[in-house]
Chains A and B, each alone.
Chain A
Amino acid sequence: MSVLVVAEHHGGKWHKMSWDTLVAGQTVAALLKTELSALILGAQIEPLAAELATHRVDRVFVAEHELLSEYSSDGYTIAIQQVIGRVSPDLILFPHSYFVRDYGPKLAARLNRSFLNDVIDINVKENCIRFTRQLFQGKINADVTFSDDLPHFISIQSGAYRGDTLEPTGNFAPVEKIDVTIDPTDIRTRYGEWFRESKSKVDLSSAEIIVSVGRGIKDPKHIPIAKGLAEALGGELAASRPVCDNGWLPLERQVGSSGQTVSPKLYLAIGISGAIQHVVGMKGAEKIAAINQDAGAPIFEIADYGIIGDLFEVVPALTEAILAIKED
């Protein structure tokens, strides 16, 4: 078995999830007692490749091409397919980024393989590898094995392995260039510049206290219930995605993978189930409190404090209790 990790970057900067994925790769390579290689694609990426080579890998492959200077699903698929042809890895790990969502399953299908996404844990027993992933928006876990042939394609969920603890070593792994051929006509899509809808006026990242409201609030007319609590606590009001999608609160208050990332002293989640795309944006909070009527809601897996109950009763009571304490 040999393991290959695909590292991702954009505009000369690493994607944070690349490091999580690299740690996952190191862990599984150790379990399988095998070598770990890493792959980086792009144009003008020598400095990144050199940096990668100092992070506990046995080898770094570099696939450079002018047409890889910006991401395209066609370009990445063609290039990685050629790399796989050259280095024959048995297990390929990708970060579960939006890019990988866009090309990973396509690449696997081109090689007549399935793709296993959002893996949170990998175990090896008697040379059989079991991968853990979440189902039902985080309510259920499942252990999965592959029934198809090598190589196996998997993506690692953000934060499942702790890339932020990874330190460079003094050693440089060998860096090997791999020639890839891509024809401009192979790339069927044209990608425009990145932009943000509007400059956000709300910076939740520096807030110390955040009261965040989810779909459990049911109707925009109930938003003041959450707002009242936020005001009592002297905190900012935030929301899960469906609340912003519905226009109940502006998009600039959305927390999660497609919104803001926050790390307050207290994150109080009201009527939020705790789907991974929300959790990645707030799990760095010092203390997490959750109010939810469903004892099985995944938000309770990461909460320090929990109340299982109806938010329409609990939140007003909590607001009163806090105001009373503050008056003392």
Chain B
Amino acid sequence: MNIFVCLKQTPARDSVIRFADHGKRIDESGLTYELNEPDAFALEEGIRLKEENGGKVVVVSVGPERAIAVIREALAKGADRGILIENDESFQVDAFAIAKALAAVLSEESPDIVLTGLQADDLGFGQTGVILAELLNLPHASIVVKIVEISDGSIRVRKELESGWFQNIDMPLPALLTIQSGTNKPRYATLMGIKKAKTKPVEYYSIRDLGVEPLRSQTIENFYAPPKTKETQFFEGSSREAADKLAEKLKFEARIL
């Protein structure tokens, strides 16, 4: 099986986001990065598919030079080949452009299955996989929580619906799946894996050479802290003092004690 997994490098979960140029840009200077959370689950799903069905796992990322880190991480965990599509712009780029870049590379390959995360934790589009399926003319399922079975060129997956409902979906391969967080237990890279990763091939492209124009269909005019919708009463002091004040409020104001 030819398995492709799309990986995005995003700012670490607990990042404090600062602005630059009066909110025109995100200040990237103090940020550290990690693999987007759902993508770790997509990668694990891809590696398991390889272990069960044979084949190769290729990981693809669009991003600045630093995004090579998520490709190396994936190679260390068992992916076989990496592709980095270089693009310097991290936050002023929309899912349509990213999907076009991924499609330009993937249409030259012959994937049996393409996996993406459901949503990137930074820009929160939740679109790239769905658009990529359209551009590659593949059937897809989104918010997949389980690959139920693969047989005779078709796949059955379980999809999450709203409010705790689920549904199984069958489709022919090749197909694209967007993977929800929490669906498996992503493995750690072993020392051996990290050593092996250094010898695995990585190809580089540039987003512009792939003819992705326009790079931007949407423009972020400004970034800012969200306005508060409620007047929050904050309780300060030591933990004990703050806790005592909150308990008082729960008794006398919220009247729940």
A306: contacting residue among B17, B134, B160, B234, CB under 8 A = B234
Assuming the contacts A144-B218, A196-B164, asked whether A74 and B257 have C-beta atoms less than 8 A apart, the reply is: no
Residues in A whose Cβ lies below 8 Å from that of B246:
289, 305, 307, 318, 321
A134: contacting residue among B15, B226, B239, B247, CB under 8 A = B226
User: Are the CB atoms of A314 and B242 closer together than 8 Å?
Assistant: yes
User: Are the CB atoms of A102 and B233 closer together than 8 Å?
Assistant: no
User: Are the CB atoms of A102 and B239 closer together than 8 Å?
Assistant: no
User: Are the CB atoms of B235 and A115 closer together than 8 Å?
Assistant: no
Q: How large is the interface on B (under 10, 10 to 19, 20 to 34, 35 or more residues)?
A: 35 or more
Q: Does B182 sit at the interface, judged by CB under 8 A?
A: yes
Q: Please give the distance in Å from B173's CB to the nearest CB on chain A.
A: 11
Assuming the contacts A98-B161, A105-B130, A195-B166, asked whether A142 and B17 have C-beta atoms less than 8 A apart, the reply is: no
Q: Does A188 sit at the interface, judged by CB under 8 A?
A: yes
User: Are the CB atoms of A190 and B170 closer together than 8 Å?
Assistant: yes
User: Are the CB atoms of A200 and B250 closer together than 8 Å?
Assistant: no
Q: Does B201 sit at the interface, judged by CB under 8 A?
A: no
Q: Which of A23-31, A39-47, A164-172, A292-300 contacts B (4 or more CB under 8 A)?
A: A292-300
Q: Please give the distance in Å from A300's CB to the nearest CB on chain B.
A: 6
User: Are the CB atoms of B229 and A289 closer together than 8 Å?
Assistant: no
Which residues of B, 76-123, contact A by the 8 Å Cβ criterion? 94-96, 99, 121-123
Assuming the contacts A101-B143, A148-B214, asked whether A114 and B221 have C-beta atoms less than 8 A apart, the reply is: no
Residues in B whose Cβ lies below 8 Å from that of A130:
221
User: Are the CB atoms of B214 and A74 closer together than 8 Å?
Assistant: no
Residues in A whose Cβ lies below 8 Å from that of B224:
140-143
Residues in B whose Cβ lies below 8 Å from that of A163:
none
Residues in B whose Cβ lies below 8 Å from that of A109:
96, 99, 131, 134-135
Q: How large is the interface on A (under 10, 10 to 19, 20 to 34, 35 or more residues)?
A: 35 or more
Residues in A whose Cβ lies below 8 Å from that of B127:
101, 104-105, 115, 117
Q: Does B125 sit at the interface, judged by CB under 8 A?
A: yes
Q: Mark A257-293, 1 if CB is under 8 A from B, else 0.
A: 1111100011000000000000000000011110000
Residues in A whose Cβ lies below 8 Å from that of B236:
308
Q: Does B32 sit at the interface, judged by CB under 8 A?
A: no
Q: Please give the distance in Å from B82's CB to the nearest CB on chain A.
A: 26
